[in-house]
Structure 1
Amino acid sequence: MKDKKNKYLVTSALPYANGHLHIGHIAGAYLPADIYVRYRKLKNDDIIFICGSDEHGTAIEMSAIKEGVTPKEIIDNYHFSNKKAFEDLGINFDIYSRTSNPIHHDTSQEIFLNLFKKGILIQKKEKQLYSEREKRFLADRYVEGTCPKCGYEEARGDQCEKCGTNLSPLELINPRSKITGDTPVIKESTHYYFPLGKYQTELESWINTRQHWKPNVINYCNGWFKSGLQDRAITRDLDWGVKVPLQGNEGKVIYVWFEAPIGYISATKELFINRKEPEKWKEYWCNPEVKLIHFIGKDNIVFHAIVFPAILKANGDFILPENIPANEFLNLEGGKQSKSKGHGVLVKDIVKEFNPDVIRYTLASNLPENRDTDFYWKDIQTKNNNELAAILGNFINRTVVFAKSKFNNNIPNRYEEYKSDTDIFDYLSLQKNVISKHYDNFRFKDAINETMNCVRAANKYFNDNEPWKEIKNNIHRAETIINNCLQICYSVSILISPFLPFTSEKILKILNAGKKDFYWENTGKIILEADKSLGKNEILFPQINNNEIMQEDLNTTTEQQSESELIDLEYFKKIKLKVAKIIECEKIPNSKKLVKLKIEIGKKTKQLVAGISEYYKPEELLGKLIIVVDNLKKTKLMGIESEGMLLAAKKNGKLTLLTVQKEIESGSEIS
């Protein structure tokens, strides 16, 4: 093993602990970072991967009030749910911390106090809305009213969700507290500001030295510079958050935009405390030899490219980012994914249905590196069946099956090399350098495409050298070909491991190989020993059938329809909702979700297909009175006719059928 040469500190944007992760988040800031870190570790670089939950702010406090729980209960739920989602997808952080941890509060307060003692912070009085009844200032998310631009009567204090205008609470017409509904009064409150404009010249000069950054990041920063950087408030009147560490500031916390990025530093401290090396964090954050890489979505560019670097500069000693490879957005079949609106493919759901490496590959080969891209359910099937199974899985399987059937499941010997043998290994050795260049420049899609080209070349080598013919005429040649193919399998397991980590591990088990030589530089080398037995073979990528994809498509279509524009009363009257009684129920073979129901609606019977088998057993459904749409056009699911649709509610991944409170005859209309 060679010595470690480069030192990297990689961060992914801290996900907000107020909702479940969707695949748009993964494609933006987490999967690219994980791929990059895995690649760097294969190169034997010294690298740590930092992330954690962002757990403060008004949205969390509002959610807690609405649900009648504490903010701690909200963040605990989403922190552990999202942590598991990352683990299920193989996103492998060195630490996944929390900004509610004491070490983060201490670190944020320390940096705040350092700026205060240096005389950098500015105090300003500002007018804010105040609730006499609640005895508190109302932050923007605590206020709603009429938008002065479009007249929407439920605009938030920070933005009108109807017209998209950014607002302040004082701009709202007829503002009211979202908690009590009372009309607030205007009072003055004193807050601390960070003089961002003071650092504009220095920041512009620094970013001008970063011409290797993505154009979208540079352009976004220049847009802010053109408008002129302004002082930014770094404290708020809130109960939940990092307390302002100065006397006379009770009821005030440090603004989440200021303290959340500090979470990278506090998490690094926590990591090395856990490793019994409490001072080692400085070797990463205060070492100019370290390359700091922030992986984020484009909506976080200003905080990571302008605001956080300014804070680090003002404090002194800290390094600045080497690169910020911000991604654009991954949309869902033409529609934007939104955590707040509940529209998107949740990670916790998709990992139950599909192989995590298939998910990773589908997302990684369609990353929004330079423009927004779209996720379509059919891509899962296409990528699995036509690429992973047909190219990668096929090569591994045909090689191992041949070795098992012709060489007693052992690695055969190598004999005289032909030109085709040296050519394939030379090609792999050259390709690893091509792929490295793509990874080094954050071109993940190109790296993955070139990796799959290696597997295509491996299949071509197998076909061109025809071991099935050589076994009859030249046993030594057949042995050499299969030995080479098994060596290539090992090289392939190295090359795919950044984006297909689970599959890479499976290949190593199939080869009965360890990780002693599992380094990037060993791609294209002879590693496996002859005469050693192979492990148990398995199909790496079973085919995904149309029915599996059709059901997910149906779920997405239904969800998108529910997000559509408002309908008028006359349109709604066309929908015939009736009470129905379930008289027969059976699971549909080869489907995880679908059941076939026979329902009674008055004197007639109908057949329904519904995706509820994960939540209800057939015997639990018999005799239930449910609500159905009686005048829906017939459709077919998995080849079975469905003559209507039942109504159900879904919250936090749990589905509940809508029913009636009292016994009533089936066929009764809902009015």
Structure 2
Amino acid sequence: MADHNPPTAGAATKVPVDGKRNILITSALPYVNNVPHLGNIIGCVLSADVFARYCRMRGYNCIYVCGTDEYGTATETKAMEENCSPKEICDKYHAIHKEVYEWFNISFDEFGRTSSSKQTEICHAIFKKLLENNWLSENTMQQLFCDKCQRFLADRFVEGNCPTPGCNYDSARGDQCEKCGKLLNPTELLHPRCKVCQNTPHIRDTDHLFLELPLLKDKLEDYINSMSVAGGWSHNAIQATHAWLREGLKPRCITRDLKWGVPVPLEKFKDKVFYVWFDALIGYVSITSCYTTEWEKWWKDPENVELYQFMGKDNVPFHTVMFPSTLLGTGENWTLMKTISVTEYMNYEAGKFSKSKGVGVFGNDAKHTNIPVEVWRYYLLVNRPEVSDTLFTWTDLQAKLNSELLGNLRNFINRVLSFIAKEPGSGYGSIIPDAQGAESHSSTKALGEKVGSYVELYIEAMEQVKLKQGLKMAMSISSEGNAYLQESQFWKLYKGDRASCSVIM
């Protein structure tokens, strides 16, 4: 799993090159208020990392950008819990994320954050274009307002009794009841209370801005219909996207009554910020602009750049509907996503990963097990939930380590290297021998043909972003190597047919 031309600190930044395959890779920006668990890692950053390494090995001109998603209600809530500012929360968790990904050997060209000044600058530019092109509308919404705190309360700043018959859980959040799982609006809660001061809020009108998705529908559908076929979108991405389209596109609110976020550059809305699902996606662009001042060569050249995006299934509609609609609405020539690779969920033992309940393995836990990072990377990739949910279990990790990494790959490497390292008389004194007459050695020729076909299958799988299949093909080469060694009985040939033994070694 070694890298090929890994990005190094201070290295010159890359821009698209005429005549080369230029590939821009992103993985869903992890939210900053928690520690990533193994499901997050395989769903986003590790999958994108493996594809980026493959592209570099193939000689493609490729960059891989990612970063922490830092704005929104969840950060404000976490800051309140930890009694500090949202900025301090973001600084703390950005460092934790960075450390986890460095330990996992994730080869980003740039790992940034969405709270940068570049983010504000690019968000404002895109917003102004949407405004000029009349794709935005204004509408009045009803929201809970706390007189004591003198603020509108975003969904996570409200708690109350769940309105679902038979539930009545008394600590339901404004966006969802954790007990029965029902999605809620804050105004639906019974006996609502402000999470900050515990006062009872009341309903008040507030004006917001909306992206008119129904008006952009034709442009969006043209893009989806052409790219989902040509780009080879994963089946689950196509399903999730068409489900959204079937339900009918509705205007999407892009502003929030919050303090922590990109400010809206209009006098009437100066006390509001952009909704995190509007601004976070623009983070891919702003993080690239932190990597190179020539970021537009990556993001505004669809003829020469292929955009590959990696994420878990819950993020799909934001990348296949919201983000392309936003970019299409500017009327500029943006590089839109060509290929999307989506994972299902990886669950833990008998249930879902949950930091709050202490269930699962999180990035910092993996580091403290003393199990080498290559073992973690291998197990997550071989267990990648490409077409259905998969399960992490400790017994399966142990079994795959023993039978596949040790029993197959290590066995193959160790037998060859240890034999070559033996002293002359029983080995080659640590010098790899010449392979004279290899072209006429029948079992070696047969092995060469088998390996050649596996390499072709490996490339085919990787080009289609079927990473699990690619890994399977690579491990099959090792299995063939073991069979070749065993059948040749090289240890006997060393005494009786040194030339054949040398070919095999």
TM-score between both structures, scaled by the size of structure 1:
0.69
1:167, CA displacement in angstroms?
Answer: 1.1
Task: Provide, for residues 359-414 of structure 1, a one-character-per-residue CA deviation record: whole Å limited to 9, x for no partner.
Answer: 11111111110111101011221111111111111111111111111111111112
AA at the equivalent of 1:444: L
Which among 46, 49, 55 is matched to residue 40 of structure 1?
A: 55
User: What one-letter code is carried by the residue in structure 2 that aligns with 1:416?
Assistant: G
* SS of 2:177 mapped into structure 1: coil
How far apart, CA to CA, are the structure 2 residues paired with 1:331 and 1:101? 34
The match for 1:177 is 194
Flag the structure with higher helix content.
2
Aligned-pair CA distance for 1:280: 4.3
Q: 1:143 to 1:54 in 2, by over 3 A?
A: same
**Unaligned stretches of 5+ residues in structure 2:** 6-17
The amino acid across from 2:498 in the alignment is I
Deviates more, 1:339-348 or 1:87-96: 339-348
How far off its partner does 1:442 sit? Answer: 1.9
One-letter amino acid matched to 2:94: H
Q: Is the 8 A contact 2:157 2:194 kept in 1?
A: yes
Deviation of 1:331 after TM superposition, in Å, equals 0.2
Q: Of 234, 241, 256, which aligns to 1:221?
A: 241
The 3-state SS of whatever aligns with 1:331 is: strand
Displacement of 1:288: 2.3
1:412 maps onto 2:428 in alignment: no
Pick one of 51, 69, 85 that aligns with 1:54.
69
2:316 maps to: 301
- Conserved 8 A contact 1:4-1:44: no
Q: For the residues of structure 1 that align with 2:310 and 2:295, how far apart are their CA atoms? A: 23
Q: Match of 1:133?
A: 148
- Write the deviation string for residues 218-249 of structure 1: whole angstroms up to 9, x where unpaired: 12112111111111111111111111112232
Q: Report the equivalent of 1:449.
A: 472
- Mapped to 1, the partners of 2:66 and 2:114 lie a distance apart of 10
Residue 342 (structure 1) shift: 4.5
CA deviations 1:166-196 (Å, max 9, x no partner) are: 1111111111100000011222211111111
Q: Which amino acid aligns with 2:79?
A: A
Give secondary structure in 2 for the equivalent of 1:161.
coil
The amino acid that maps onto 1:425 is G
Summarize deviations over 1:307-331 as a string: whole Å, max 9, x none. 1110011112212111111110000
Does the CA contact (< 8 Å) of 2:156 and 2:174 recur in 1?
yes
Asked whether the equivalents of residues 135 and 215 of structure 2 are also in contact (C-alpha less than 8 Å), the reply is no
3-state SS of 1:326 partner: strand
In the alignment, which residue of structure 2 is the partner of 1:343? 359
Q: Distance in 2 between matches of 1:182 and 1:241?
A: 25
The 8 Å contact of residues 358 and 383 in structure 1, kept in 2 or not, is answered as: no
Number of the residue aligned with 1:432? 455
Q: Which residue of 2 aligns with 1:22?
A: 37
The alpha carbon displacement at 1:450 in A equals 1.3
SS in 2 for 1:180: coil
Measure the CA separation in 2 of the matches of 1:162 and 1:104.
Answer: 37
Structure 2 CA distance for aligned equivalents of residues 52 and 285 of structure 1: 21
1:479 aligns with 2:502: yes
Aligned to 2:8: none
Q: 1:248: which partner in 2?
A: 268
Please name the residue that 2:289 is paired with.
269
Number of equivalent positions: 476
Match of 1:260, SS state, is: helix
Residue 322 (str. 1) matches residue 342 (str. 2): no
Equivalence map 1:135-534=2 (5 Å): 135-149=150-164, 150-209=167-226, 210-211=228-229, 212-272=232-292, 278-315=293-330, 316-339=332-355, 341-353=357-369, 354-405=371-422, 406-417=427-438, 418-482=441-505
Indicate the structure whose relative CO is greater, using CA pairs within 8 Å and at least 6 residues apart: 2
Partners of 1:124 and 1:427 in 2: CA distance: 64
Q: CA deviation at 1:97?
A: 0.4
Residues 480-528 of structure 1 deviation map (CA, whole Å, 9 limit, x = unaligned):
221xxxxxxxxxxxxxxxxxxxxxxxxxxxxxxxxxxxxxxxxxxxxxx
Is 1:68 matched up with 2:83? yes
Q: Which amino acid aligns with 2:432?
A: I
Three-state SS of the structure 2 residue aligned to 1:83 is helix
- Rg (Cα) greater in structure: 1
Q: Shift of the alpha carbon at 1:208?
A: 2.5
Which range moved further: 334-343 or 164-173?
334-343
Confirm or deny that 1:119 pairs with 2:142. Answer: no
Q: How does 1:79-98 map to 2 (within 5 A)?
A: 79-98=94-113
C-alpha distance in 2, partners of 1:408/1:19? 52
Per-residue deviation, 1:432 = 1.1
Give the partner amino acid of 1:32.
S
Q: Tell me the CA shift for residue 148 of structure 1.
A: 1.2
SS at match of 1:325: strand
Partners in 2 of 1:11 and 1:289 — Cα distance? 17
What whole-Å deviation, never above 9, does each CA across 1:454-505 have from its counterpart, x for those lacking one? 00111111122222111112222222221xxxxxxxxxxxxxxxxxxxxxxx
RMSD (Å), alpha carbons? 1.6
Matched residue, 2:13? none
Counterpart CA distance in 2 for 1:84 and 1:311 is 32
Structure 1, residues 422-479: CA drift from partner, whole Å, max 9, x if none?
2222322221111011111122221111111100111111122222111112222222
* Alpha-carbon offset, residue 341 of structure 1: 4.8
